[in-house]
């Protein structure tokens, strides 16, 4: 069966991630809270620590096997409650803005070229990401790096309500792309979420070591690459053989 779609993870697959903007982002959040609620409001660091504590609990639950994901605004609501603050009305917008401003990305030219190569071949391109950001926020960043125009479906766990490796998030991407799992190749950097998760549905899975190198262990990725451009040659070969 021919490959008709290539689906990518985001963090450490299509771009490197840096959380160095968080101090400034939580400073912005504090100023908004002062405007909404008035003083006293805890320092920005206290806000950041409270949100980080909730994210830590959620990460531990995920590691323990819970793949259902809370809405992002619920994470911030729990953090505010821990600080004795009422959650202001525009909570979703405030959470989205804080996460967006706090994270910075680095994209290699090779990534842009790879997506363009797949579009030139007439393939569908998707993105599936475990994230607390919204697709709207991520789309802005993808557009800034010249990637959005090559993406046909952007699916995020914060909106689906399930994180990889749960089948629901992969199935939503396949549905939007209009392909069967056997017609798709998935590319990601994590063994459990990306490789095992996609293979369980019948997709071929490529493990990328461009930004981080996770040992496959008992998993059997169909290919391991150091650069995303290597996936183009792999898909070309699959379609030639097919």
pLDDT at position 110, please? Answer: 93
Same domain, 157 and 41: no
Mutual angle of helices 229-241 and 109-120, in 10-degree steps:
20
- CATH code, domain with 32: 1.10.150
Residue 206 belongs to a domain with what CATH number? Answer: 3.40.50.1000
pLDDT at 12 over 80: yes
Query: Quick one: 166 and 144 in the same domain?
Result: yes
Smallest Cα–Cα separation from 163: which of 189, 137, 138, 131? 131
The share of the chain scoring above pLDDT 90, in percent, equals: 93
Same domain, 66 and 155: no
Burial of 70 (0-12, 13-18, 19+ CB in 10 A): middle
Q: Is the pLDDT of residue 242 over 90?
A: no
- Mean per-residue pLDDT, 56-61: 96
Cα distance between residue 228 and residue 43, in whole Å: 42
Reported confidence tier of residue 89, pLDDT bands at 50, 70, 90: confident
Q: What is the mean pLDDT of the chain?
A: 95
Do 220 and 197 have their domain in common? yes
pLDDT reported for residue 234: 97
pLDDT confidence bin for 173, thresholds 50/70/90:
very high
The Cα–Cα gap between 191 and 170 comes to 15
Is-contact 157 176, C-beta < 8 A? no
Per-residue pLDDT band at 138 (split at 50, 70, 90):
very high
The whole-number pLDDT of residue 45 equals 96
For CA atoms 117, 130, 159, 50, the dihedral sign is negative
125 & 183 share domain: yes
* Residue where a domain terminates, one of 102, 132, 166: 102
Residue closest to 130 by CA, chosen among 224, 5, 17: 17
Q: Is 82 helix (H, G, I), strand (E, B) or coil?
A: helix
Q: Which two tokens stand for residue 152?
A: 């046909």
pLDDT digits (tens, 9 = 90+) for 91-122: 889 999 999 999 999 999 999 999 999 999 99
Do the beta carbons of residue 110 and residue 147 sit within 8 Å?
A: no
Query: Which pLDDT does position 86 carry in this prediction?
Result: 86
pLDDT in tens, 202-226: 999 999 999 999 999 999 999 999 9
For residues 99 and 134, give the distance between their C-alpha atoms in angstroms, rounded to a whole number: 9
Higher pLDDT, 152 or 90: 152
Q: Are residues 81 and 123 in the same domain?
A: no
Q: How far apart are the first and last CA of the chain?
A: 6
Q: Are 112 and 158 members of one domain? A: yes
Answer yes or no: is pLDDT of 232 > 80: yes
Nearest alpha-carbon partner for 164 in 69, 64, 56: 69
Residues 6+ apart with CB under 8 A from 82: 50, 53, 54
Q: Flag whether pLDDT at 229 surpasses 90.
A: yes
pLDDT exceeds 90 at position 241? no
User: Domain range for residue 209?
Assistant: 5-17+105-241
- Mean pLDDT for the stretch of residues 166-190: 98
C-alpha–C-alpha distance, residues 221 and 26, integer Å = 39
Per-residue pLDDT tens digits for 114-136: 999 999 999 999 999 999 999 99
Residues 142, 52, single domain; the answer is no
Same domain as 26, residue 13: no
Do 66 and 52 share a domain, yes or no? Answer: yes
State the pLDDT confidence band at 39, using cuts at 50, 70 and 90: confident
Structure tokens at 46: 């206290």
Identify whether the C-beta of residue 30 lies closer than 8 Å to the C-beta of residue 103.
no
Domain boundary pick from 55, 81, 102 = 102
The span from the CA of 190 to the CA of 188, in Å, is 6
- Distance between CA 135 and CA 117 in Å, rounded? 23
Q: Are residues 155 and 36 in the same domain?
A: no
Query: What gap in Å lies between CA 64 and CA 71, rounded to an integer?
Result: 19
Q: What is the pLDDT of residue 128?
A: 98
């Amino acid at each position: 069966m021919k490959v008709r779609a290539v689906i990518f993870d985001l963090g450490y697959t299509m771009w490197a991630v840096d959380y160095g903007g968080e101090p400034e982002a939580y400073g912005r959040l504090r100023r908004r809270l002062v405007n909404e609620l008035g003083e006293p409001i805890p320092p920005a660091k206290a806000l950041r620590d409270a949100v980080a504590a909730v994210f830590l609990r959620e990460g531990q639950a995920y590691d323990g096997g819970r793949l259902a994901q809370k809405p992002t605004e619920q994470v911030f609501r729990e953090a505010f409650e821990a600080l004795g603050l009422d959650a202001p009305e525009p909570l979703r917008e405030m959470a989205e803005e804080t996460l967006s401003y706090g994270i910075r990305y680095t994209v290699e030219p090779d990534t842009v070229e790879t997506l363009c190569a797949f579009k030139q071949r007439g393939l569908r391109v998707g993105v599936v990401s475990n994230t607390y950001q919204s697709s709207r926020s991520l789309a802005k960043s993808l557009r800034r790096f010249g990637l959005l125009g090559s993406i046909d479906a952007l699916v995020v766990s914060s909106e689906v309500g399930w994180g990889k490796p749960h089948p629901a998030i992969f199935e939503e991407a396949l549905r939007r792309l209009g392909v069967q799992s056997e017609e798709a190749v998935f590319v990601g950097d994590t063994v459990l979420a990306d490789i095992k998760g996609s293979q369980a549905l019948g997709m071929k899975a490529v493990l990328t070591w461009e930004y981080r190198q996770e040992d496959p262990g008992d998993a059997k990725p169909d290919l391991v690459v150091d650069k995303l451009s290597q996936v183009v040659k792999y898909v070309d070969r699959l379609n030639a053989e097919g």
